[in-house]
Structure 1
Amino acid sequence: MSVVLKVEERAVRPRSIRKKLRAEGRVPSAVHGHNVENIPFSVDALELEKAIRENGLNAVYTLDLGGKKISTLLHDYQLDTFTKEWIHAEFLAVDMTQETEVEAELTLVGTPKGVKAGGVLEQNLYSVIVSATPDKLPERVEVDIEGLEIGDSLVIGDIPKQADFAIVTDAEEQVCAVTEMVAKVEDEETGVAAEPEVINEKPAE
């Protein structure tokens, strides 16, 4: 999907102009990349927040700069640690016919059979790197885990191939596993949890 953002070219000096722009509700930004060296601009903070909220971080943002249209991806951004106000945004101009790589959220869907049988689901990976043309980049990758039994695990290579994009994260990377519930065994006399026995443990000197 493509979202149009109306932006205004800005001066780089003096540095105080950035503070002035933020006070006016605008985000100091810049774009570089495909056929674009570096253009500083500003964008309305509320419009940018609304666009990201409705379309996600991996959408194609078409910058309308005085009538000139530039297809971009949101490459990086910075928010104030305390107020969460926008400090800066950086956009990457892209060729819509060329594949690019971005990070996408990994979402587990369903309740594994093993969890219903008393097991515990352990998720080890929360995002993946995907490759696609800019208009096909997903915001998230959903993985069905309902069939996992106790003792089963799922790695990147187990995720079904997608028509619009490819997952380029290492195929052996573990996504999740369903393990047995480990119960603490208490000493009958003291009521204190007993230490597990360690096979071939080196005796204390």
Structure 2
Amino acid sequence: MTVALQAKKRDNLLKSVTKEIRKAGDVPAILYGNEVEPQTISVNNIELVKTVREEGRNAIISLQVDNDHLDVMLHDYQTEPLKGELIHADFYAVNMSEEMDVNVPISVEGEAKGVKEGGVLQQPLYELQVRAKPRDIPEQITVNVTDLEIGDSILASDLKDGKKYEVLEDETATIVSVLVPDEQPSAEEAAGETEDAEPEVINEKSDS
């Protein structure tokens, strides 16, 4: 699905002008990529954030610049460290017929059998790098862990069949696993340690 986003050309790059752009609610940005000369633009802050939240980081955006409509993706962005506000964005014009490499978030679904039995679910990877044509890039990759028992894992190789994208991670990379819980001393062991300890002397009299 392609979503539309309006952009304005930005010719004056003075810091004072850029500051006014942000004050007006827009985000300074740069556009480059497939058959596009790099150009500076600005987009509405609220509309960009809404697009990314609703459609995902890898959404195909129909960016309107004057009378041109370009298929782009949000390639990168910068935020203000303290306030977390969006202060700059990079848009990459894509060729819809060519494959590209992107990172896709992983969504874990279900409650593992092993967790119900006391195991601990571990997720080493939160994103997977995949290769696909722009329209075939998934918003997220769902991994169902319901059948995992203690000691079981799901590897990158388990996700490769029947998809419109190629997973580029090492096939042996672990996405999720259920680990044996840390061993805790039993009640008998704890009692034994207490009995073996030297008793504390209360109000012991001094030899002096």
- Tell me which interval the TM-score lies in, with the shorter structure as reference length: 0.7 to 0.9
Taking every aligned residue pair, what percent have the same amino acid on both sides? 35
Unmatched 5+ stretches in structure 2: 195-208
1:183-202 equivalence runs, <5 A: 183-185=183-185, 187-190=190-193
Partner of 1:114: 114
TM-score (norm 1): 0.87
1:1-205 equivalence runs, <5 A: 1-185=1-185, 187-190=190-193
Change in 2 beyond 3 A, CA 1:13/1:125: closer
* Higher normalized helix content (fraction of residues): 2
Aligned pairs, how many?
Answer: 191
The alignment yields a C-alpha RMSD, in angstroms, of 1.6
Report how far residue 119 of structure 1 moved: 1.8
Report how far residue 15 of structure 1 moved: 2.8
Report how far residue 158 of structure 1 moved: 1.5
Paired residue secondary structure (2:81): coil
Indicate the larger mover: 19-28 or 45-54. 45-54
User: Which whole-Å deviations, capped at 9, do the CAs of 1:74-112 have from their partners, x for residues lacking one?
Assistant: 000011122222210000011000011111111121122
Paired residue secondary structure (1:188): helix
Hey, what's the Cα distance between the residues in 2 that align with 1:152 and 1:46? 43
Unmatched 5+ stretches in structure 1: 192-205
TM-score (norm 2): 0.86
Indicate the larger mover: 118-127 or 177-186. 177-186
Q: Does the aligned pair in 2 maintain the 1:11–1:17 contact within 8 Å?
A: no
Hey, what's the Cα distance between the residues in 1 that align with 2:180 and 2:46? 48
Report how far residue 169 of structure 1 moved: 1.2
Hey, what's the Cα distance between the residues in 2 that align with 1:14 and 1:81? 22
Hey, what's the Cα distance between the residues in 1 that align with 2:170 and 2:38? 33
Paired residue secondary structure (2:191): coil
Letter in 1 for 2:61: Y
Indicate the larger mover: 35-44 or 176-185. 176-185
User: Which whole-Å deviations, capped at 9, do the CAs of 1:137-178 have from their partners, x for residues lacking one?
Assistant: 112100122221212122111225243222111111111221
Indicate the larger mover: 89-98 or 42-51. 42-51
Report how far residue 22 of structure 1 moved: 0.3
Partner of 2:202: none
Hey, what's the Cα distance between the residues in 2 that align with 1:111 and 1:57? 26
Paired residue secondary structure (2:161): coil
Change in 2 beyond 3 A, CA 1:14/1:157: same
Q: Does the aligned pair in 2 maintain the 1:28–1:88 contact within 8 Å?
A: yes
Report how far residue 182 of structure 1 moved: 2.2
Partner of 1:196: none
Hey, what's the Cα distance between the residues in 2 that align with 1:160 and 1:33? 29
Report how far residue 115 of structure 1 moved: 1.8
Larger Rg: 2
Partner of 1:197: none
Letter in 2 for 1:61: I
